[in-house]
Structure 1
Amino acid sequence: MNNKLLIKSLPLVASVLGRKYGVQVRIGGDKAFTNGKVIQLPALPLENDELMLNLARGYLDHEAAHIRETNFEWLKLAKLTPIEMHIWNTLEDWRVENKLTDSFPGCRQNFQWLIKHLFMHEIDQSQENKDDPASAVLNCLLLIVRSWDFPELAEKCARTASIVESHYPGLLSRWDSVLRNVRTKCDSTQDCILYTREFVALLKQYIKQDAPSPRSTDIKVKQSIQDLDKLLSSESKDLPKGLGKILEEQLVSNSPDNIDQGLQVARDGYKRLIELDKTDLEQTRRASTSLKSRLHGVIQAKTISHDRIGRRGRLSSSHLHRVAVGNPRMFRSCGERQKISTAVHILIDCSGSMRRRIGLASQICHTVVSSLNSINGVSVGVSCFPAVRAKDGESYGEPTVAAILNHGQRVHSCFGLSASGSTPLGEALWWIFQQMLPLPESRKIIICITDGVPDNLLNTQKAIKDGSLNGFEIYGLGINSEAVFRLFPGKSRVITELTDLAPAMFDLLQESLLN
């Protein structure tokens, strides 16, 4: 696969990072969030720009760091106040990101980009800090912590610190020892909670000891202390947004206004499977025998190993007579066998428009699986779309795919399907790309059995284009429909009955399998 293209494909990047970090990543809808197990990205622009790519990768790294490293049980037991939660989040963000970079050094670049984007390129908050010196205290803490990994923040940090010092002289020096401990000894969520409470305790102590007397005539100093006291009792909505929340908002603001016209990836669903009856199985057996014999014939001719006679190898007694004429080519060596290493995934359209075709589609799918499964070096998988929720049988309200046969699983006969619902072909293809990406086979082929009429044509065309650029070979089998010719030009065939399958599949696959 083309790695340069791969790293610019957000759905595939999300899949790679999700597997690497041990989290689940979903793409679709109009929100960005994480629930501690799943990271949700909004629908993506069909043409991803560098900003969206970097925001999404940074967000994935940031949230994955929390999922892997933050102990949410400890956090729940701590029952932090809003101001404590804000300070804890500042410390914990820094801690978990560094933990992640220890395990995956490559994500350091993503975090560096985020810090530069959010702290260096955003609107300067110096005027806001002057007008609200209490908030400047929180901003200064954030900048100090972030400058440990990004020294370019030093100047901005110094400006904010001067504002804090002018209103609260000596406050920052009280924090020095705690900051040193955070930087050198903070190793867990519990540590961040304890250091957070130290920061808040120092704030309370500063207010108590340095608050002006009631007779003070310095109204400005008195107001600053009152603002700091008010900060300690602030509600969450009155405090600055955390890094995760800022990223969520930026991702959503850069996603398409109409999510149906954006790039979405189907999610896992459930599909009830019925075993094919004896008549269908007999028909698929005969059809698979015909297809199998055609494919095996050309594959055997291509991969068979022939001995060669040359100047090196083991002496061939049947060629010793060549000595008499001075011909040195009398040594036998084994020819190199060309091996097949191919994963084939069949994607069946089970939408409502396939209702009259679904029986034939099910037979075709089982026939192709049975034929390909008998070829050494070919791994076969099957999925269908759309699907439903397993528990209640209702739709998720978003694109879904259900696995029928996983790669490496023993072939079964439960290929009987029902047809209903929409046609999220593009979303299903992105799901297939994600599933096939980690497979060990060097070639990856996808065969779409469909009527060729997807819900979102632009998303489908984008999936086919990007998938092809990234090394997936995508073909279409139209069931009584020539619309597949427009979706898969030059890589599609139309089938009207089961007997058409062998010649159609042979035409599609022989060159690809043997290439």
Structure 2
Amino acid sequence: MARKATIDNALPIVAAHYGEKFGVKVVVSGTDASTDGSTIIVPNVPEDYPNKDVVWGYLAHEAAHVRQTDFDVWNSVLPKQELRRTVLNIFEDARIEKALMEQFPGVRSDLESTVTFLKDDGSFRKVNSSDEPGRILQAKLLFWLRANFLQQPLDDLSEAAGQAMQSVFPKGVNTRLGVLLRKACSTSSTSECLGLADQVIQMLEEEAENEEPDNGDSGDGQDKGDDQDQQNNPSPSGGGDGSGNDNQPDDQPGQKDAGSNGKADDDNQSPANGSSSTTDQPQPTGSQVIRKALNSGGDDLQPDAFESLKQKLSKDAQKDGDDSYCTVPTAPSCAGDTNSGRELLKKVQATTSKLRAQLLSIVQASRRNNTRTKRSGRKLDGKRLTRIVTGDTRVFKERSDRKQANTAVHLLADLSSSMNGYQASVAREASLAIALALEGIPGVNPAVTYFCGHGDDPVRSALRHGESARRQAHRFIESSRGYTPMAEAIWHGAFELTKTRETRRILIVITDGDPDNDVACRKVLELCENSAIETIGIGICHSRVALLFDNHIVINSVEDLGKTLFQLMRDTLVDQAA
């Protein structure tokens, strides 16, 4: 039986938790997976997407960039400097992921799942000596750091890349590259990663010069004359000191020199009799191999795996995505007004004191402890000792505790343009009054959020869970404006409720109109229902709430709002405590 989708595991909620934990802005939007250096966009893949952990790995990786990468340094590398940019990217990815895992150890599993996915998907591909030199170098750097520094499950790819490097590149390159790789494990900034990438480039250029033949043109090592000289030169590095045997490619066919039979015998691709389709092709010199790597273009290098992942996630979202999802908005605090807040507090205090006293007395009475007698225990009931004469041993008393309220309540109040003037004033008064009344009851944790405005600013916080309504009274002063972003408000309220410790969670929506996005409202309300978050709609002179909320109330005038909220909370809390 398939597990029901709930608020707690919904894509926008988990993405919001990650964004809050990492301190980055996360947007769930359409089919685009991208990052602009400050905002991470997660495509709205379907709820039953089989690779959710890969989505979280992508989010963690991009969050690491937003937190750690100096994009001014990154953008200083010209696009045409493809090898330089590739090496920088490899060093920087390893550095930022390591930093993120050290601060948030839990992301390691998500990143490992993503790496495994990229390997299975072919984005991380094993190389061999027949690949382009630039791709072999790229694989060596990439897989060595991920397997050895990040301890990710890529040992086989790292080993294959190391063998290809030994086979194709001169010994000097392999030796010096090993030193530079170990330096990469201690970089602490994007600038240091770029500096190390430049050291790799410089090392390759120096080794290319070292590998130039003494009797050849030392220009770029790729002249036809050099190629012709190599047809009779048994040393693949082109050196004249005879030390090229250490750098002999193990899997390059066509070696006809008798002194290299050992190499040919070890290579299954090179028959012992020397017959091969490539026996007439000259072997590239070490200098030529290095310079080919240095001049690598886009086709010579493996595309960045995380860019490929973005494309796949975007494609999957385009095919099966859920466009009813909304980004969980962050609610900035209402600007408020100190003087107006003081007046508002004074105005509702009399009502609040009465409401609080009534609610508290009702709740206390409903959860008053009862006692009963039993046949064993630690405390005797002096009033029941006479039962022993009749043989009734039920003389021990036991207190029966009823449940505490233990309830988090999030009130969402509509302050759209239609709630202007007098209606907005009543909504603010009712919200503050009920918040003050609820916070005085042990076990009840209220919060109040206004929804209004536009897409980029849909919610404002008047009171957060755990705050004092009395101290934050000035924040209940907020003017009405804009449309009715109810879906975004419910996503925000549900997200805030998931962070509370109370076992019971209640979401109350007060509105006088239709939501901007009816489909998105229905989606998030369904998830709340699956998650045991009780949702209640209060419509002010508007019956639309009856179509959205199973539990709903329609009031005929805004003046009834305060009384309706009190009755609602009275019935709700008594039911919980009973």
Q: Tell me the residue number matched to 2:244.
A: none
How do residues 373-384 of structure 1 correspond to structure 2 at under 5 angstroms? 373-384=439-450
Structure 1 residues 352, 448: CA separation in 2 closer, same or farther (over 3 Å shift)? same
Deviation per residue, 1:159-198 (Å, 9 max, x gap): x666656654446633563266358x63644875665444
Q: CA deviation at 1:340?
A: 1.8
Indicate which of 310, 321, 328 corresponds to 2:386: 321
1:476 counterpart SS class:
strand
2:138 counterpart SS class:
helix
Name structure 1 gaps, 5 residues minimum. 388-394
Q: Tell me the residue number matched to 2:501.
A: 440
Q: Tell me the residue number matched to 2:227.
A: 217
Q: Tell me the residue number matched to 1:119.
A: 119
Q: Which letter maps to 1:267?
A: T
Q: Which letter maps to 2:363?
A: I
For the aligned residue pairs, the C-alpha RMSD in angstroms reads 4.2
Alpha-carbon distance in 2 for matches of 1:143, 1:452: 57
Structure 1 residues 209, 6: CA separation in 2 closer, same or farther (over 3 Å shift)? farther
Deviation per residue, 1:120-166 (Å, 9 max, x gap): 313686899967433442234223333443455625862x6666566
Does the 8 Å contact 1:88/1:193 carry over to 2? yes
Q: Tell me the residue number matched to 1:142.
A: 142
Alpha-carbon distance in 1 for matches of 2:16, 2:432: 29
Q: CA deviation at 1:483?
A: 0.4
1:468 aligns with 2:529: yes
Indicate which of 366, 371, 396 corresponds to 1:302: 366
Q: Tell me the residue number matched to 1:88.
A: 88
How do residues 26-425 of structure 1 correspond to structure 2 at under 5 angstroms? 26-28=27-29, 30=32, 32-33=34-35, 35=37, 39-42=39-42, 44-45=44-45, 47=47, 49-51=49-51, 53-66=52-65, 70=68, 72=70, 76=73, 83-102=83-102, 104-122=104-122, 132-148=132-148, 149-151=151-153, 154=156, 158=160, 168-170=169-171, 173-175=174-176, 177-178=178-179, 181=182, 186=186, 188-189=188-189, 192=193, 195-211=196-212, 213-214=216-217, 215-218=225-228, 221=284, 224-231=289-296, 242-255=304-317, 261-269=324-332, 271-273=334-336, 275=340, 282=347, 288=352, 292=356, 295-310=359-374, 311-355=376-420, 357-387=423-453, 398-412=456-470, 413-414=473-474, 415-425=476-486
Alpha-carbon distance in 1 for matches of 2:129, 2:359: 73
Structure 1 residues 251, 267: CA separation in 2 closer, same or farther (over 3 Å shift)? farther
More helix by share: 1
Segment drifting more, 459-468 vs 258-267:
258-267
Alpha-carbon distance in 2 for matches of 1:205, 1:513: 81
1:506 aligns with 2:564: no
Alpha-carbon distance in 1 for matches of 2:211, 2:574: 80
Does the 8 Å contact 1:287/1:502 carry over to 2? no
TM-score, normalisation: structure 1: 0.79
2:227 counterpart SS class:
coil
Q: CA deviation at 1:478?
A: 1.0
Structure 1 residues 46, 289: CA separation in 2 closer, same or farther (over 3 Å shift)? farther
Q: Which letter maps to 1:411?
A: A
Does the 8 Å contact 1:207/1:229 carry over to 2? no
Q: Percent identity?
A: 23
Does the 8 Å contact 2:28/2:327 carry over to 1? yes
Structure 1 residues 374, 5: CA separation in 2 closer, same or farther (over 3 Å shift)? same
Alpha-carbon distance in 2 for matches of 1:300, 1:428: 32
Deviation per residue, 1:29-87 (Å, 9 max, x gap): 7563263xx55224524645233x3343002222344566x4749x9599778544532
Structure 1 residues 452, 48: CA separation in 2 closer, same or farther (over 3 Å shift)? farther
1:345 counterpart SS class:
strand
Q: Which letter maps to 2:496?
A: Q
Q: Tell me the residue number matched to 2:262.
A: none
Structure 1 residues 210, 24: CA separation in 2 closer, same or farther (over 3 Å shift)? same
Does the 8 Å contact 1:316/1:332 carry over to 2? yes
How do residues 485-504 of structure 1 correspond to structure 2 at under 5 angstroms? 485-499=546-560, 501-503=562-564
TM-score, normalisation: structure 2: 0.71
Segment drifting more, 236-245 vs 39-48:
236-245
1:154 counterpart SS class:
helix
Does the 8 Å contact 2:406/2:443 carry over to 1? yes
Q: CA deviation at 1:115?
A: 1.3
Segment drifting more, 13-22 vs 200-209:
13-22
1:314 counterpart SS class:
coil
Name structure 2 gaps, 5 residues minimum. 218-224, 229-281
Segment drifting more, 447-456 vs 145-154:
145-154
Structure 1 residues 21, 436: CA separation in 2 closer, same or farther (over 3 Å shift)? same
Deviation per residue, 1:278-307 (Å, 9 max, x gap): 79975x567656755664454123221234
Q: CA deviation at 1:400?
A: 2.8
Alpha-carbon distance in 2 for matches of 1:204, 1:470: 61
Deviation per residue, 1:302-322 (Å, 9 max, x gap): 221234444423334443333
Segment drifting more, 23-32 vs 56-65:
23-32
Q: CA deviation at 1:23?
A: 4.6
Q: Which letter maps to 2:536?
A: Y
Deviation per residue, 1:385-414 (Å, 9 max, x gap): 235xxxxxxx6x524311111223222444
Q: CA deviation at 1:486?
A: 0.9
Structure 1 residues 402, 427: CA separation in 2 closer, same or farther (over 3 Å shift)? same
Q: Which letter maps to 2:364?
A: Q
Structure 1 residues 202, 502: CA separation in 2 closer, same or farther (over 3 Å shift)? same
Does the 8 Å contact 1:178/1:199 carry over to 2? no
Q: Which letter maps to 2:433?
A: T
2:107 counterpart SS class:
helix
Q: Which has the larger radius of gyration?
A: 2
Segment drifting more, 505-514 vs 468-477:
505-514
Does the 8 Å contact 2:424/2:479 carry over to 1? yes
Segment drifting more, 422-431 vs 476-485:
422-431
Q: CA deviation at 1:380?
A: 1.3
Alpha-carbon distance in 1 for matches of 2:305, 2:358: 59
Does the 8 Å contact 1:46/1:459 carry over to 2? no
Alpha-carbon distance in 2 for matches of 1:121, 1:180: 26
